[in-house]
Every structure is written in C-alpha cells, then in structure tokens.
Amino acid sequence: MEECTRSAFCRIKAVSNAIRRKIEGINIEEKYGLTGGECAIMGYLFENPHKPLYQKDIEEEFHIRRSSATRALQAMEKKGILFRQSEPHDGRLKRLVLTERAMEIGRDVGDMIEEAEQRLLKGISHEELNAFLDMCDRICRNGEGEEKA
C-alpha cells in the first residue's frame, strides 16, 4: 500500500503541475497581471454573478486557508479586479463584487482557460471526468479531515 500511496501523491502533484504549466502557458499573468489563483477566483465569481459570494466561500471552494484567501483578495482589490461591498442586512459581511475591468477581461480569460481545459481533457470521457472530479473532492475532504463520505 505504501508504494501505491507514494505513486498516488506523485501523480496528483504531476497533474497539478501540468495544469499550472498549461495555465501559465496562456500568459494570463503577462497579459493581465493576474496569477493563476487570482484568475481562478475571478472565474468562480464570474460564473456565479447572481449568487452572493464572500471570502468564506472562496476559502471553501478552493480549499485554502483564510490567510491565503485574504492575500489573494487584497491583491485582486489592488489590481482593480474586485471590491468588497457591505451587505445592508449585516455590515460585517463583505460581498465580493467584480469590477467592470474584471468583467471585460473575464470573458477573454474564460475563453483562454476553456481552450486549455479542452486540451488537458482530450481523450477523457464525460464519465471518466465526473469520476475524477468526485475523487478530487473526496481527496480534498480527506486532506481537511472531514468525515463525509
């Protein structure tokens, strides 16, 4: 089992590296000044325009610590990608809102990521992809110590 575990860890790391290289290869950082992580957060907000989203949602969606989310969101605010809007019913809640600049580049970045994703998923069936995504979710939950099955 130990050999299998190391192999699984190495393969997961290899997939992560392949995705990172593919995203870096489409020059989002060079073209827009956004890191891959910032781009992913922007994409998540872009895909959920009618859903109120907060920092906690970013932490949960991307399985990152509060400090990492804070750094990323603060950097995105400085770059003019988003702003935090107080909720009228609870001023402590700060809704994440994309700026007009983000909406403009979001469409272009989305197309670039879609193309990269299609290349990465070439030859993988819909069923295989769903099984892989389910396993990724389970691995993330296991890594966080959640008891959900």
Specify if 126 maps to a domain. yes
Smallest Cα–Cα separation from 79: which of 52, 44, 42?
42
Q: What is the mean predicted confidence (pLDDT) over 47-74?
A: 94
Q: What is the mean predicted confidence (pLDDT) over 52-73?
A: 95
Q: What is the CATH number of the domain that holds 23?
A: 1.10.10.10
Which secondary structure element, helix H or strand E, spans residue 92, and what is its range?
strand 90-98
Specify if 149 maps to a domain. no
> What is the domain range of residue 51?
2-144
Query: Higher pLDDT residue, 12 or 76?
Result: 76
What's the pLDDT at 7? 82
Centre a 10 Å sphere on the Cβ of residue 93 and count the other Cβ atoms it contains. 15
Distance CA 54, CA 82 (A): 12
pTM above 0.75, yes or no: no
What's the pLDDT at 127? 95
Specify if 93 maps to a domain. yes
Residue 136 has pLDDT above 90, yes or no: no
Least-confidence region, from 41-50, 80-89, 109-118: 109-118
Smallest Cα–Cα separation from 85: which of 72, 75, 99?
99
Domain count of the chain? 1
- At 1, the pLDDT band (50, 70, 90 cuts) reads very low
Distance CA 138, CA 149 (A): 7
- At 66, the pLDDT band (50, 70, 90 cuts) reads very high
Q: Are 61 and 51 in contact (CB under 8 A)?
A: no
Mean pLDDT of the chain: 85
Residue 109 has pLDDT above 90, yes or no: no
Q: What is the mean predicted confidence (pLDDT) over 65-90?
A: 94
Report phi then psi at 48, rounded to 5.
Answer: -130, 60
Q: Which residue has the tokens 């295989």?
A: 128
Helix (H, G, I), strand (E, B) or coil at 54: coil
